[in-house]
Amino acid sequence: MPMQPSPWVPYLCLFLAALIMSLMMTPVAHRIAWQLGAVDRPGKRRINKTAIPRMGGIAVFLGIIAAFVVQYVGTMHLGWPVILSPAPHFHSLNYQMVALGFFAIFVTGALDDVFQLTPLQKFFGQVVAASIAVASGVVIGVIVNPFTEGALQLGPLAYPITVLYLVAYVNIFNLIDGLDGLASGIACISGFTMFVLSVMAHRMDAASLSIALVGATLGFLRYNFHPASIFLGDSGSLLLGYTLGIVSLLSVTRVAGLTTIIVPLVIAGIPIIDTFSAIVRRKRAHVSIGQADRGHIHHRLIDEGFDQRQAVLLMYGWSALLCLGTFVMTQVSVIPRIVIFTSLFVASAVIAMKLHLFHPVLLHHMNPETGDDELVSPQDPEFKQEEEKLLEEEEKRHMHHLGS
């Protein structure tokens, strides 16, 4: 009978398997991206000055697969514990379908990298992947109110709410992927935090998945940190968000108090702030929410004079602070949790305001020569005039509301 290993040995092996596979496969992904034409070329919104391939998700995906191959071998031949055992609150959980969901989100991102899918096509792929996860049994079910003895039963609403939750998690990581090593580094920090919390919750499936993600992203960062030779692409950024969303559902949010449900949201605080500010910024300027602009956190930091490396390291530090606060929140009672969460929220709000994240960077302008409605940015001479008009309109609306 094989000797029982230390409980940390399997996790270390999963981490190393994902790390080594990602290191080995990133150069392969680099070549595949060039052959398929999946390349980011310099442009107005892009930071990169040279053409860089964008299918790094291949390496991250294969790193996660390698980790679970090692886990399978360890379980079958080395006496490792079985990790694919759902928590008691899951009535049934089909891990094969969970794996299918991962494949679906990776394929959606890879197709977008190569063929540039429309937003609707990409959204459809995200919904399909999230729906597969829900069909597998990964569903938010019961929310316990920390201030009362009651619990909120979501019933049939649990299914669309879980799909919406996963799709949102996918997109916030997709939007934050704007600087060398930014999305992969934040996912690595977030993944390690979720690993620690999953181990403490005795959720081996979530812990194994999160430590595999940490290894895969860390290996990929060898090539993705500034100056990057390859980008994640949507094949990677969608996968990162989906993985962290699944981990949070497996380990945290099925049956939880309201403050505990906040945990995965705080862990992903930076991409959530970035996404929320983008929505507010574009709504203020009466621009489509889907209209890309140069107002994201990383753009603002670059405009403040930081170089790429400095901007990314600052965002790593901000993310690490949120994750540390999240860990402390899980170790204290309800009132200190609320105090910590409020402190993190206020600090992040102050940073967001200092960086002017809610100020529009695209405005409508009527071209006097053609009569066409055009979008102008701060680089255009007409922008200042349109910005003054916007502020005047907002001031009038504010005074009207006060008067009524």
Cβ atoms of 315 and 301 within 8 Å: the answer is: yes
Q: Are strands 255-257 and 142-144 parallel, antiparallel or unpaired?
A: parallel
| Highest mean pLDDT pick, 84-88, 144-148, 251-255, 388-392 | 388-392
> How confident is the model over 224-231, as a mean pLDDT?
94
What pTM did the predictor assign?
A: 0.88
d(CA 225, CA 122): 26
Ordered by start, the domain boundaries in the chain are: 8-267, 363-403
Structure tokens at 166: 């996963």
What mean pLDDT comes out for the span 76-85?
81
pLDDT digit string (tens) for 36-46?
Answer: 999 988 766 56
pLDDT digits (tens, 9 = 90+) for 102-156: 999 999 999 999 999 999 999 999 999 999 999 998 887 666 555 555 566 677 8
CA 122/CA 308 separation, integer angstroms: 28
C-alpha to C-alpha distance for 96 and 104, rounded to whole angstroms: 12
